[in-house]
């Protein structure tokens, strides 16, 4: 089975069977170690337009000058983007002793107790036949905020029907932003005990992303009004415009303008706990074994 790129296209949600009623398995990325990166904020990166005069003797010369400038500007922006990403990844250096030996098999095993669906997904060897099993292909990529307080998961999830290896029954990318660690020294908290906190939180986010995808795949498409949601990513406040699917007192699940799904922490002064619990229950898929 070919592995999906991270920026996979989003397919319209389709009605899938209840996870509790079929055999399921998870297929992991080919790379042995879990992917981590530093959170980048390109909005503050200062990548602006390049201004240039176009001395040209005629329209043909002007066209050549414009095209040349466009190529130079594109190359400059790509180089600056790569530089910014490398600088952002420096936040990973203190975590290297943990993340450089954290494997996908360990991540999958740790995620099982957290799955609300009750689907304890066994790992399917890559390329193995699955005539009677629905396969969930995952591509989890984790990011750590620059203040080291928050873990972010972007997981591209594809679901294949039994025996199918090319056509997906469902595909989408789910982003889950964890609540920030309120600690005087978050790095010490993350890396203590061979990184147990970082590994368990990563597994929790993976399980949450699978629950969100299962619920989205089984539920009919709902048309909710678009609105702008303010949320927390570490110590930074972000904004995303989308369709809220479920709301709790401190978290919102929404479908972005790109069609992807996002579970984000929010700050609210007032919220009725009962309403939040009802929204969470309505969004969760049915439980059961598998």
Q: Are 21 and 29 in contact (CB under 8 A)?
A: no
Going from the C-alpha of 81 to that of each of 67, 77, 146, 193, 232, the distances in angstroms are 21, 6, 17, 35, 24
Low-confidence stretches of the chain (pLDDT < 50) are 2-14, 45, 47-54, 273-290
201 φ/ψ angles, rounded to the nearest 5 degrees: -65, -40
Topology adopted by domain 227-283: SH3 type barrels. (2.30.30)
Q: What is the largest CA-CA distance in the chain?
A: 75
Going from the C-alpha of 186 to that of each of 74, 180, 190, the distances in angstroms are 38, 9, 6
Report pLDDT for 164.
93
Closest CA to 162 of 188, 136, 196: 136
DSSP state of 148: S
Place of tokens 């009623």: 21
| Distance (Å, whole) CA 277 – CA 248 | 7
Angle, vertex CA 231, rays to CA 137 and CA 189, nearest 5: 70
Report pLDDT for 30.
93
Report pLDDT for 12.
46
Angle, vertex CA 42, rays to CA 46 and CA 144, nearest 5: 135
Domain with CATH 2.30.30 in the chain: 227-283
| Distance (Å, whole) CA 11 – CA 8 | 9
Report pLDDT for 77.
63
């Amino acid at each position: 089975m070919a592995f999906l790129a991270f920026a996979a296209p989003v397919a319209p949600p389709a009605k899938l069977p209840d996870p509790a009623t079929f055999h399921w398995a998870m297929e992991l990325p080919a790379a042995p170690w879990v992917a981590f990166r530093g959170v980048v904020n390109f909005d503050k990166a200062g990548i602006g337009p390049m201004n240039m005069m176009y001395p040209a003797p005629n329209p043909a010369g002007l066209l050549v000058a414009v095209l040349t400038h466009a190529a130079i500007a594109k190359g400059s922006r790509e180089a600056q983007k790569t530089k910014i990403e490398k600088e952002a990844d420096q936040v990973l250096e203190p975590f290297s002793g943990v993340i450089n030996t954290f494997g996908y098999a360990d991540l999958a095993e740790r995620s099982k107790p957290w799955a609300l669906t009750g689907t304890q997904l066994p790992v399917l060897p890559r390329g193995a036949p699955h005539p009677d099993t629905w396969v969930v292909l995952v591509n989890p990529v984790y990011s750590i905020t620059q203040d080291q307080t928050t873990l972010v998961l972007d997981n591209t999830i594809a679901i294949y029907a039994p025996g199918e290896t090319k056509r997906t029954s469902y595909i989408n990318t789910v982003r889950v932003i964890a609540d920030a660690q309120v600690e005087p020294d978050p790095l010490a908290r993350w890396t203590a005990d061979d990184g147990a906190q970082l590994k368990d939180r990563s597994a929790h986010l993976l399980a949450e992303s699978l629950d969100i995808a299962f619920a989205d795949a089984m539920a009919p498409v709902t048309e909710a009004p678009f609105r702008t949601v303010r949320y927390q990513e570490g110590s930074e406040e972000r904004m995303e415009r989308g369709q809220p699917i479920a709301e709790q007192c401190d978290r919102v699940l929404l479908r972005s303008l790109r069609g992807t799904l996002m579970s984000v922490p929010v700050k609210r002064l007032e919220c009725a706990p009962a309403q939040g619990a009802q929204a969470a229950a309505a969004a969760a898929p049915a439980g059961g074994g598998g």
